[in-house]
Chain A
Amino acid sequence: MSDTHAHSVAFVRETMLPQQPPPVTEAGVVKWMRENLFKGWFNTLLTVVSLYFIFKIVTGAYPWFANGIWNTSSLAECRDMLDGMTGACFSVLTERWNQLLFGFTYPRDAYWRPTLAFVLLIVAIAPVLYPKAPRNLLYFTAVYPFLAYWLIWGGTLLIPLMVLVGLVAGYFAFKQFERQSFAMGMIAGLVSAVVVIWAGSIVPASMPNVMAIEAVQSRDIGGFMLNMILGTVCVSLSLPLGIMLALGRQSSMPIIKWICIIFIEFIRGVPLITLLFVANVVLAYFFPPGSNIDLVLRVIIMITMFSSAYIAEVIRGGLAALPRGQYEAANSLGLDYAQSMRLIILPQALKISIPGIVNVAVGLFKDTTLVSVISMFDLVGMIRGPILASTEWNGVYWELWGFAVFVFFIVCFSISKYSQWLERQLATDHR
């Protein structure tokens, strides 16, 4: 060897060895394939068998997609065009596109309203989901629910406006009384919000045509729009409700604690579908006679209650995972209950609970299709009912259900990807 003094025991390096690339078999694609696909005869066999099946599936499905027909007006016409070849009748999707999205009785000339509401939803949700989005957008997020209600249901703008005014009044009342105690603030806020909304309801009733657009009844709302409405509203309501239930369950005040425990355990012991039937039929008995609570609202109440109980249990797990020292440190610094929860305990507990919360949210979103059994025409209800039952499209199962699968998969997979990203963003403890 030229760079060492081989003849003596003592050793002094005179030239440093340059870094060399690893052998081909230890890097890149070759290494990956060796390690993952062809490691031993059994792995190799599995790889070959899997490749065979993938090949069969792709070659089988390819003509179905490739020969797909997009522009006929009935299944019979589509079959004629295919003339015995394998091929999909995607024309059911194009022909019934608006029905799949908006249901079959939503006014045609108002399709732009839910579409606009959906686009604005993306704007409104951005500052909540991405910390880097401009903070000022949060004001828009606060106004959005009222705007979206007006866009989708129509009628006079004064109704959502009065509700907004009532909530703002409630907020200021809460701020006023919060100094005395948190509970006082909550009660004062709730009472003044209800009073202002109740008193203010005269205004839209007396002027039903001010800033009014064509009103749409709840039973005319359907299609994937209904799934989106139920999904977003119920997720965003059940998260705060779930947090309150989880904290209530830990409360040292026995009455609050028992109310929360009974609520959670009762809801968890009942199937969602039962609750939906209750919403459809029985719930009306609990409201004052004559009051006609909207069916969509009743369903929202039930799904929200259902998923908030599950979210509460997920968050309880997160709370239990925090060491007691965190509570003690927060207390020893003089933070009061609301502060220590908001600043110390919940940020950590919610971070731990993200996978569980997302699990519930994804489940909730898919469960919105259950409303089809109480004769609401969401995406599944539309496919099952008006579309498959029509004379034109009787028998187009693969295309329609495949479309439903695809749409739900896109949404649920995005939610799950977002939650993984969020977890990485929030990982500060073990870097």
Chain B
Amino acid sequence: MAETANAPMAISDEVAIQIQSMNKWFGSFHVLRDIDLTVYRGERIVIAGPSGSGKSTLIRCINALEEHQKGSITVDGTLLSSDIKNIDTIRSEVGMVFQHFNLFPHLTILENCTLAPIWVRKTPKREAEETAMHFLEKVKIPEQANKYPGQLSGGQQQRVAIARSLCMKPRIMLFDEPTSALDPEMIKEVLDTMVSLAEDGMTMICVTHEMGFARQVAHRVIFMDAGQIVEQNEPEEFFNNPQNERTKLFLSQILGH
């Protein structure tokens, strides 16, 4: 599985996301400092780093859940501006999976998945439901379609959240610590889903502490600290031969036991 996922030919020359000298402040606190990052179509990137290093903020800037103050972000050729139409266009092309799932508790699993296609893409209801069932089968929980999120386990909820994003047929997927809120035995089912997504050639940026996943799936691992990209490399090199002192310290702590 790992070999196919890591096949380098999956990456194209086409640029999916281009971030140029992007800066962000929370009040007077400088969270992101001069971020430069180019993500190619089909590329899978894992962002690691200690908490408070700005990894989540970085990917939340990509779909404008957070506003950046300096520099530019280009997603799929569209420059991210403060225009609300432009932001909604980008958001419908970029899927996002959250740490706390954020399913809509008043809607069934199926309705969770069909809502955005019907209202944003204007897909006919039946077609949206077929797509939703297709992706629910892909994440292996079609039988839960008519239940409510509160009736599902954490792992199942996160897989529904992934299916919900996929129903919008996004060209890029962002994962914000998708397994951090899960019990250990549920982490695997979510990671398996993400691996199978990777095999399909999805462009993915994933903030995670799952280093095994990074090793297996990522084309590139980025290490962030204090709002900056400290080191980035292919997973083999990154784990076996880290250069920066901070990276070494972080890896020794996270892989130490």
**What is A's interface to B at a CB cutoff of 8 Å?**
323, 325-326, 328-337, 339, 343-344, 347-348, 351, 426, 428-431
Contact = CB atoms under 8 A, between A and B. Distances in A.
B91 A325 contact: no
Contacts, number: 74
Interface string B94-111: 111010101111100000
Given A429-B106, A429-B150, A431-B151, A332 B65 contact: yes
B115 interface: yes
B106 A428 contact: yes
Q: Which of A329, A337, A344, A429 has the most CB of B within 10 A?
A: A329
A332 B96 contact: yes
Interface of B: 63, 65, 84, 88-89, 91-92, 94-96, 98, 100, 102-106, 115-116, 119-120, 148-151, 164-165, 168
B119 A343 contact: yes
11 contacts: A323-B102, A326-B104, A329-B102, A331-B65, A332-B91, A332-B96, A333-B120, A333-B165, A334-B88, A335-B120, A428-B105
Given A325-B98, A328-B102, A429-B106, A334 B120 contact: yes
Contact of A329 (B92, B94, B104, B150): B104
A347 B96 CA distance: 23
B98 A344 contact: no
B150 A333 contact: no
A339 B116 CA distance: 10
Q: Which of A323, A332, A430 has the most CB of B within 10 A?
A: A332
B102 to A, nearest CB: 4
Contacts of B98: 325, 328-329, 332
Contacts of B148: 428-429, 431
Contacts of A430: 150
B155 to A, nearest CB: 18
A322 to B, nearest CB: 10
Nearest to B96: A332
A334 B102 contact: no
A339 B119 contact: yes
Given A328-B65, A347-B106, A428-B106, A334 B168 contact: yes
Contacts of A323: 100, 102
B182 to A, nearest CB: 15
Contacts of B91: 331-334
Given A325-B100, A431-B151, A333 B92 contact: yes
A339 to B, nearest CB: 5
A326 B151 contact: no
A406 to B, nearest CB: 38
Contacts of A429: 105-106, 148-150
B115 A343 contact: yes
Nearest to A333: B116
B111 to A, nearest CB: 10
A202 to B, nearest CB: 41
Given A326-B104, A344-B104, A429-B106, 4 more contacts: A325-B102, A326-B102, A334-B91, A335-B115
A333 B84 CA distance: 14
B115 A431 contact: no
B151 to A, nearest CB: 6
Contacts of B106: 347-348, 351, 426, 428-429
3 cross-chain pairs, A with B, having the tightest CB-CB distances, nearest first: A334-B92, A329-B102, A333-B116
A343 B226 CA distance: 38
A336 B83 CA distance: 12
B108 to A, nearest CB: 8
A396 to B, nearest CB: 52
Contacts of A331: 65, 91
B116 A334 contact: yes
Given A325-B102, A351-B106, A428-B105, A332 B150 contact: no
A72 B110 CA distance: 66
A325 B96 CA distance: 12
Contacts of A326: 102, 104
A314 to B, nearest CB: 18
A429 B84 CA distance: 31
